[in-house]
């Protein structure tokens, strides 16, 4: 009811946001308050991964996250991910593999992969890598180039 001010760090910059309604999603905070339009809205129901950002280093669906629930957290979006060594490597892998067509899914994929690398989850082989990318949809590429980019980032996954 009473909208309140919250603090977030977004791409390394402290942001103080006022009058944030309880129901405001992080996706809308980023796109409409902060004009960071790189984070995409695909489905708004958790099904496509286009809205993936990092919250304290972990990949998170910004469409299913209330802004006030992540108060005090560090948010990284596609606009800031290249400032970090891991994020920059993922971006370069996408470029090198030609993994971008219309580009709508690309920010989500880059954030999801950056999150996976940062988490340093066990490399369980190629199948597990594909499973871990299963939440991100792409309507253009047929995935082959995206999978190549991902495989290049996780050596030892046994990828072809």
Ligand X SMILES: Cc1cc2nc3c(=O)[nH]c(=O)nc-3n(C[C@H](O)[C@H](O)[C@H](O)COP(=O)(O)OP(=O)(O)OC[C@H]3O[C@@H](n4cnc5c(N)ncnc54)[C@H](O)[C@@H]3O)c2cc1C
Binding region for ligand FES (CB under 6 A): 41-44, 46-51, 61, 63, 100-105, 138-141
* CB-facing half-sphere around the CA of 83: CA atoms within 13 A: 10
Give the one residue of 46, 98, 103, 142 binding ligand X; rule: CB under 6 A. 46
| Distance between CA atoms of residues 44 and 88, nearest Å | 27
Q: Which does 43 bind (CB under 5 to 8 A by kind): ligand X, ligand FES, another protein, none?
A: ligand FES
The vertex-57 CA angle with 123 and 109, nearest 5°, equals 65
Instruction: From 42-50, 78-86, 113-121, 125-133, give the range in contact with ligand X by CB under 6 A.
Output: 42-50
Please, what is the minimum distance in Å from the beta carbon of residue 51 to ligand X? 12
Cβ-count burial of 127 within 10 angstroms (0-12 exposed, 13-18 middle, 19+ buried)?
Answer: exposed
Q: Which of 68, 95, 69, 91 is nearest to 80 (CA)?
A: 91
Instruction: From 15-23, 45-53, 89-97, 106-114, give the range in contact with ligand X by CB under 6 A.
Output: 45-53
In the chain, what is the straight-line distance between the N-terminal and C-terminal CA atoms, in Å?
A: 54
Binding residues for another protein (CB under 8 A): 1-2, 21-23, 25, 44-47, 49, 52, 55, 58-61, 64-66, 68-69, 112, 115-116, 119, 121, 130-132, 134-136
* Chain residues that interact with ligand X, rule: CB under 6 A: 45-47
């Amino acid at each position: 009811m009473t909208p309140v001010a919250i603090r977030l760090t977004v791409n390394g910059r402290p942001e103080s946001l006022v009058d944030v309604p309880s129901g405001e999603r992080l996706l809308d905070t980023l796109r409409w308050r902060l004009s960071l339009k790189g984070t995409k809205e695909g489905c708004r129901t958790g099904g496509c991964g286009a809205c993936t950002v990092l919250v304290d280093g972990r990949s998170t669906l910004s469409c299913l996250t209330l802004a006030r629930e992540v108060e005090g957290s560090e948010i990284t979006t596609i606009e800031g991910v290249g400032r970090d060594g891991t994020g920059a490597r993922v971006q370069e892998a996408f470029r090198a593999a030609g993994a971008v067509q219309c580009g709508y899914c690309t920010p989500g994929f880059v954030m999801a992969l950056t999150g996976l690398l940062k988490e340093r989850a066990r490399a369980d082989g190629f199948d597990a890598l594909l499973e871990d990318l299963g939440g991100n949809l792409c309507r253009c590429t047929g995935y082959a180039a995206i999978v190549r980019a991902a495989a290049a980032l996780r050596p030892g996954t046994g990828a072809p």
